[in-house]
Amino acid sequence: MEDITWKKDETPYLIFSCSKCHQYIYTKITQKSKKCVRCGYTHKVSKIIDRGEIIKGISNAVELVKKKQNDLAIKELGSEPEFRTLGDFKIAGKVKYQKNAINLDSEDDDYYEKFKQMLYSLSETHNSFPYYIIEIMAENYGIPQSEVKLLTRRLQRQGFLIRLNGDYSYKIRV
């Protein structure tokens, strides 16, 4: 019988922060370049090898990236990040809106400006973003969920917010 043993992964990985969006990424040090999955910025590994931390093994690399990303979120948000999938959001049912029933008072305008500012901020770190991120960010900005869908549609009609083909991702027109 053959003796089967587990071989420990000793591949060196570089853990570094993206120059553009600051998300933590890992890559093999033998790679020539690494593209950030968040913003799409391409890093040349030879130029950033001094900036990062080298760790052996894919499991260790993934765990370290998760830890660093969590620490960054706590520093930026002041609390643990909440990760939810699109499936976590349920549509209660079809709601019919009457055009003349929409009331644009000063509170709605405040939400409008906050929402627009939130989208600008989101677009600084993401080329495109899914709808559930818009909902989560709106909650952080104090915008009620009942307003998010209305504001999203309003900004789409104005051409400011663009829905990408085939999925629930959006980007802003700059």
26 with 44, same domain: the answer is yes
67 with 90, same domain: the answer is no
Residue 51 lies in a domain: yes
CATH number, domain containing residue 130? 1.10.10.10
55 with 105, same domain: the answer is no
Total domains present in the chain: 2
Query: pLDDT > 90: what percent of the chain?
Result: 22
Beta carbons within 10 angstroms of residue 73's beta carbon: 15
Residue 6 lies in a domain: no
pLDDT tens for residues 87-129? 554 444 444 444 444 444 444 567 888 898 888 888 888 888 8
- CB-based burial, 4-27: b 16+ in 10 Å, e otherwise: eeeeeeeeebbbbbbeebebbbbb
Of the three residues 48, 77, 106, the one that is the final residue of a domain is 77
CATH number, domain containing residue 70? 3.90.820
Residue 20 lies in a domain: yes
146 with 163, same domain: the answer is yes
Cβ-in-10-Å burial (0-12, 13-18, 19+) of 137 comes to middle
58 with 127, same domain: the answer is no
Choice among 15-19, 40-44, 98-102 with the minimum mean pLDDT: 98-102
Residue 144 lies in a domain: yes
- Coil vs helix vs strand at 120: helix
Q: Domain containing 71: what range?
A: 12-77
* Alpha-carbon distances, residue 10 vs 13, 26, 62, 123, 166 (angstroms): 9, 15, 14, 38, 41
The pLDDT assigned to 96 comes to: 44
Residue 5 lies in a domain: no
The pLDDT assigned to 69 comes to: 86
98 — phi, psi (to 5°)? -95, 130
29 with 67, same domain: the answer is yes
* Residue 110 CB partners (closer than 8 Å, separation 6+): none
Nearest to 29 by CA among 51, 9, 14, 50: 14
Question: Model-level pTM greater than 0.85?
Answer: no
Give the whole-angstrom CA distance, residue 136 versus residue 174.
Answer: 22
